[in-house]
A and B are shown apart, each in its own frame.
Chain A
Amino acid sequence: MPILGSTELFDDVHKKDLCVDCGACVGLCPYFVSHNGKIARLFPCTLPQGRCFAHCPKTEVDLNRLSTWMFGSEYDLSALGAVTDIRKAKAGPAMTDRGMFQNGGTVSALLTLGFRSGRITAAALTSRKGLTPEPVLAESEEAVLACSGSKYMASPTLSTVMKESASGSTRRMAVVGTACQMTALAQMRMNPLEREDFRDPVALSIGLFCTWALDTRKLKHLLKDHMDLDSIVSMDVPPPPAQVMTFNTSSGTVDIPLSDIRPLIPKGCGICPDMTAEFADVSVGALEGEPGWNTLIVRTARGAEWVEDAAAQGFLILEAMPEASLANLKTGALGKKKKALLRAKEDNCLNVAPEAGRSALVIDPERVESLLT
């Protein structure tokens, strides 16, 4: 697929409002920056090809190429992508210090092992100031725990990775991010511009299951009349039938109806076919009906090695994935795929013929058709 420059990125993503604030174009150069939950282009850049375009998960993303590069297998539009193992997981006894885990603390446990074992010296994580998500380059186990808990807002988390990579740093890091961020990260790791100075800093990519990540500015606008934004301790989206999003504040819990929340979903999330963060070494989500547990999908050999070691050293407790939950997960994941591909077709950004324009997504058209029919 063609790799173009920032002008095309600006036209195809920013102007069409498809940006999901992943941060993959930020920190590489002086032109793209993130401020208050939104990505800005400061000045036009004249280069015909650039990493900004190459990394972006909304510009000419060839999922088959990505899958082949990462897993050695074709992108087949299966519900969960490349999977070597699926388990029910949670933080184990070795996790003596506990953070405000979102679910089972699997993510924090994997990261803690990473630091403890010297596999990594840094991790690209996401913290929060009020309701503004803040990319953090964690350099200690304490910093990992400080970042625990989900911020259901789109966050430019990848900017720290891009900055590290662009600066030529040689340290090894883990990266935690949502599905689009994992797609962007994988594209970055492919060294799409074949730069000689490229070095992949990623030792482990941990994907988070994701249905959507809200527009930060709009969420702030909605919530400021309901609560003091600085008093928010944590947030959650309880599974159906609860039709609310829950905010725990220092002065109590506030439920906001999902019907008020849905309009805050960025347009770019609507064409995202990926619920389980398929382009990561491991992916972690909630486990239906079991709040203290996670669903853990292992996708790569190094992911498997990491998870096994975590279990062996007591950082993780692993159990078999309940069949019913797995079936529901697949249904949900396929549902997201169908909806996204329909929307992408409608918006004319799926498999666009080169002479007719540019695509956001490129997926084997036959497979698309068979999924949709």
Chain B
Amino acid sequence: MTHLGHYPEGSRHLLMGNEAIVRGALEAGVRMAAGYPGTPSSEIIENLAAISKDPSLHLYVEWSVNEKVALEVASSASFAGLKTMAVMKQPGLNVAADYLLHLSGSGVRGAMVLVSADDPGALSSVNEGETRHYAKLMEIPLLEPGDFQEAKDMTRWAFELSDAIRNVVLVRTVTRLSHASGTVIMGRVPENDKQAFFKHDGFIIDPNEGVVMSPPVEYKHGEQHRKLKQAESLFENSPFNTYTGPDTPELLIITSSICSLYSREAVHMLGLESRVGILKIGTTYPLPRQLMKKHMAACDRIFFVEEVLPFLEEEVKIIAAECAADIGVKTFFGKKNGSLPMVGEMNPDKVIAALSKIMDTAMPQRDAAYAARAGAVAFGGSPHREATFCPGCPHRASFFTLNTALSMDNRNGFVCGDIGCYSMGVLPAGFSTLKTLHAMGSGTGVASGFGKLSKFGMDQPVLSVCGDSTFFHSAMPPLVNAIHNSSDMTLVVLDNSGTAMTGFQPHPGIERDAMGDTAATIDIPAVCRAMGAEVRVCDPFDLHHSRETLLELIGRKGVSVLVLKQGCALSPEKKSSRRYDMRVDETICAGESCGCNRMCTRVFACPGLVWDKEKTKARIDDVTCAGCGFCADICPRGAIVKKEVA
């Protein structure tokens, strides 16, 4: 991956969608990139960071504290005349949206691309938010690559477009494009070393030398529309919009992004190549009206294949209504009429089912013997496994502490959560401890409000959790809010020293930045103390100390913070080391009998502990156990023995 900047022009390489985006940006001559980690977008900044030290590439790359700041940081380079990029997952775009509205109003100078990655089906998310509507809302152009080559080419062209219209261009990718790989033919990486300079002394509304701002609003907004029109006219002849199929198809599929591949597969599987045409749109907003009109004129039945929401469908329907006099009345199939489901990830099977119904053709049947065999293998071959924390994960220990402390406190206390590995606190893996789960930092904001409800007779202890990265991202403002408004709540910072969920990207608490340079660190307990909270720091692997401390804190009025600090079990520093050698003393283990009933394997359930059915005793799985030592504290008999590794 570190060769991404040096693959020669014309060479072919297998690239992940996110790598293709990186290469496209390099071919465009990007100078700065900023983002906040979030699946499926993280590899873009990661790859750029990995090659950022290459002097020939002239790059500055950073993990910003959150997506709004990332967008702000990236835009500065544009204001100084450089090509720049901001990268985030879709929920992060919501965070950045406030600035984006201003930025799209002010316009940019150096070309600026905003890459937003959607996760249809919420494979690694807690929602399946849509990027595409933002293009309309913010009145900026939107490009949607449909394959790996396009991921590179369209990213590169997005910079050209931005340069032409002097505004931000939005590029939307999805998990199946970002995280899958395909062959990409390289273009040229230009050599240039442009100087940054911010001109600000010109006439106040001069786009090149004036003040960068969205007022005077009517004028700037008008400019923005002019730019959007300009983009639309460029889109009319864009090579990223392609049509395959007969001249006058019986059905026209209009599709974009990775759904274009599903559509092709469906048409092929049903043998409908001579009857169904596919119009693949790469320039989704604003839609090129003439192009759409031309294709709709040739066919009266139109089927939209897209994910997640019916964005194309609605945009096309507006054009169809406005052009009805010229192109006639159309029949539409898609999400709106129930041909395809409104929610969840799209896949070829769904498209095949809908298409066979619309075209009244039989679905291809799978060979019955094969189907039976496949079913049997799939059923018997893979044991059912719940999502769970890794062996030695400090979050399991922390949630055990939180959960048991709240039970002991016995006042129906609860924990408000947000996004991170620790979101699994809603599951049995985290003893079902989280009772609300929303956006980054939201647990603390919600808790801040709950903590004021004593006025209405609520006497339940209120807690929130956030990770260390989330603390900086968006938990600080709600914490300030709680303190200022005299809320009664306890924030538990699950500090595992890195943005673990997305692959250990650094954050402001880490003494290393995205490019690997030494960085100033911000001390979470000190920040909380300075804000005015009562603060304690414990090691989550010390059950008794952590629990006593938490019980003390939730017994108090006002805002308190408990930092449970312990590195992630998979962190590079910890991964192959063990603190303790563990074993179960079978002569003491009470197993299933009254007195234990398998506390370790039934309740705590670290994968490092296994239940030996024959011996009816617990056992440590030496291969899996990470040697954290915590389970020794939960065994009522002291049967789990830990020995410090020499």
Residues of A within 8 A of B (CB): 28-31, 33, 35-36, 38, 40-43, 45-47, 49-52, 166, 193
**B residues with CB within 8 A of A:** 403-404, 407-410, 431, 551, 592, 594-597, 599, 602-603, 634-636
A46 to B597, CA, bound (A): 8
B594 and A35 within 8 A (CB) = no
Q: Which residues of A contact B592 (CB under 8 A)?
A: 47
* A42 and B634 alpha carbons, distance in the complex (Å): 12
User: What separation, in Å, do the CA atoms of A45 and B603 have in the docked complex?
Assistant: 9
- Please, how many angstroms separate the alpha-carbon atoms of A47 and B409 in the complex? 25
In the complex, A30→B599 CA distance in Å? 7
5 tightest A-B contacts by CB? A35-B408, A30-B636, A50-B594, A30-B599, A40-B407
Residues in A with CB closer than 8 Å to B408 are 33, 35-36, 40, 42
Residue in B403, B595, B635 whose CB lies within 8 Å of A28? B595
A69 to chain B, nearest CB (A): 20
* CB neighbours of A41 from chain B (8 A): 407
Q: A35-B551, A46-B597 are in contact. Are A29 and B407 (CB under 8 A)?
A: no
User: What are 10 residue pairs bridging A and B, where the CB atoms are less than 8 Å apart in the complex?
Assistant: A29-B595, A29-B596, A30-B634, A31-B599, A36-B408, A40-B409, A42-B407, A43-B599, A47-B597, A49-B594
- Given A29-B636, A30-B636, A35-B409, CB of A42 within 8 Å of CB of B596: no
CA–CA, A336 to B592, complex, Å? 41
Give the residues in chain A near B594, CB-CB below 8 Å: 28-29, 47, 49-52, 193
B596 touches A38 (CB 8 A): no
Question: Which residue of B409, B603, B635 is within 8 Å of A43 (Cβ)?
Answer: B603
Q: Do A29 and B597 have beta carbons less than 8 Å apart?
A: yes
Q: How far is the CA of A47 from the CA of B59 in the complex (A)?
A: 63
Q: Is the interface of A mostly helix, strand, loop or mixed?
A: loop
With both beta carbons as reference points, the residue of chain B lying nearest to A35 in the complex is identified as B408
- C-alpha gap A354/B594 in the complex (Å): 24
Beyond A43-B431, A46-B597, 19 additional contacts (C-beta under 8 Å) are A29-B594, A29-B596, A29-B597, A31-B597, A33-B408, A35-B408, A35-B409, A35-B410, A35-B551, A36-B408, A40-B407, A40-B408, A40-B410, A42-B403, A46-B602, A47-B592, A47-B597, A49-B594, A50-B594
Contact between B597 and A51 (Cβ–Cβ < 8 Å)? no
Chain B residues within an 8 Å CB radius of A45:
597
- Cβ distance B258 to chain A, nearest Cβ, rounded Å: 44
- The distance in angstroms between the C-alpha atoms of A35 and B550, with both chains bound, is 13
A166 in contact with B595 given A30-B634, A40-B407, A42-B404 (CB within 8 Å): yes
Who on chain A is nearest to B588 by CB? A168
Which of A31, A42, A47 has the largest count of B CB atoms less than 10 A from its CB? Answer: A42
Total A-B pairs, Cβ < 8 A: 52
Which A residues touch B596, using CB under 8 A? Answer: 29-30
Chain A's nearest CB lies how many Å from the CB of B155? Answer: 51
- The residue in chain B whose Cβ has the minimal distance to the Cβ of A193 is B594
Task: Determine the chain A residues whose CB is within 8 A of the CB of B595 once the complex forms.
Answer: 28-29, 51, 166
Q: Which residue of A lies closest to B555 (CB)?
A: A36
How far is it, in angstroms, between the C-alpha of A29 and the C-alpha of B407 when the chains are bound?
A: 16
B634 contacts across to A, CB distance below 8 A: 30
Give A41 to B636 CA distance when docked, in angstroms: 15
A321 CB, nearest partner CB in chain B, Å: 42
CA distance A52 to B599 in the complex (A): 16
Q: Bound complex: CA of A29 vs CA of B635, how far in Å?
A: 9
Which residue of chain B is the closest to A34 with respect to CB atoms?
B408
CA–CA, A51 to B595, complex, Å?
8
Q: Report the minimum CB–CB distance from A107 to chain B (whole Å).
A: 30
CA A309 to CA B292, docked complex, whole Å: 107
- Chain B residue contacts of A51, Cβ below 8 A: 594-595
Q: How far is the CA of A29 from the CA of B590 in the complex (A)?
A: 10
Within the complex, the shortest CB–CB distance from B264 to chain A, in Å, comes to: 52
B64 CB → nearest A CB, Å: 41
CB distance from B585 to the nearest CB of A (A): 14
Q: Using Cβ atoms and an 8 Å threshold, which residues of chain B touch A31?
A: 597, 599
In angstroms, Cα B591 to Cα A136, docked, is: 28
- Kindly state the separation between the CA atoms of A51 and B551 in the bound complex, as whole angstroms: 28
Could you tell me the distance in whole angstroms from the C-beta of B457 to the nearest C-beta in chain A?
Answer: 15
With both beta carbons as reference points, the residue of chain B lying nearest to A45 in the complex is identified as B597
* Cα distance, A49 to B593, chains bound together (Å): 10
Interface centre among B409, B592, B602, B636 (most CB of A within 10 A): B636
Q: How many Å lie between the Cα of A86 and that of B570 in the bound state?
A: 69
**Residues of the B chain whose Cβ atoms lie less than 8 Å from the Cβ of A33:** 404, 408
* Chain A residues near B597 (CB-CB < 8 A): 29, 31, 45-47
From residue A157, how far is it (CB to closest CB) to chain B in Å?
Answer: 18
Considering residues B403, B407, B551, which has the most beta carbons from chain A within 10 angstroms of its beta carbon?
B407
Find chain A residues with CB under 8 A from B603 CB.
30, 43
List chain A residues, Cβ under 8 A from B635: 30
Residues of A close to B409: CB separation below 8 A: 35-36, 40
Shortest CB–CB separation between residue A158 and chain B, in angstroms? Answer: 16
Min CB distance A29 to B, Å, is 5
CA–CA, A29 and B600, complex, Å = 12
CB distance from A210 to the nearest CB of B (A): 24
A50 to B592 Cα, complex, angstroms: 11
Task: Give B547 Cβ to nearest chain A Cβ, in Å.
Answer: 10
A30 to B407, alpha carbons, bound, how many Å? 13
A180 to B223, CA, bound (A): 83
Alpha-carbon separation in the docked complex, A373 to B551 (Å): 50
A50 neighbours in B (Cβ, 8 Å)? 594
- Closest B residue, CB atoms, query A14: B410
In the complex, what's the smallest C-beta–C-beta distance from A194 to chain B, in angstroms? 12
Complex Cα spacing A52 to B595, Å: 9
Give the residue among B592, B594, B599 with the most A Cβ atoms within 10 A. Answer: B594
Chain A residues lying within 8 Å of B431, measured Cβ to Cβ, are 43
B326 CB to closest chain A CB (Å) equals: 69
Interchain nearest-CB distance for A71 vs B (Å): 28
- Give Cα A184–Cα B618 distance, bound, in whole angstroms: 31
In the complex, the answer to whether B636 meets A38 with C-beta atoms within 8 Å is no
- Chain B residues contacting A36 (CB-CB under 8 Å) are 408-410, 551
Nearest Cβ on chain A to B153's Cβ, whole angstroms:
56
**A46: nearest chain-B partner, CB-CB:** B597
A42 to B597, CA, bound (A): 13
- B415 CB to nearest A CB, Å: 16
Q: How far is the CB of B532 from chain A (nearest CB, A)?
A: 25
CB distance from B595 to the nearest CB of A (A): 5
Most buried by A among B551, B597, B599, B636: B597
Bound Cα distance A31, B431 (Å): 14
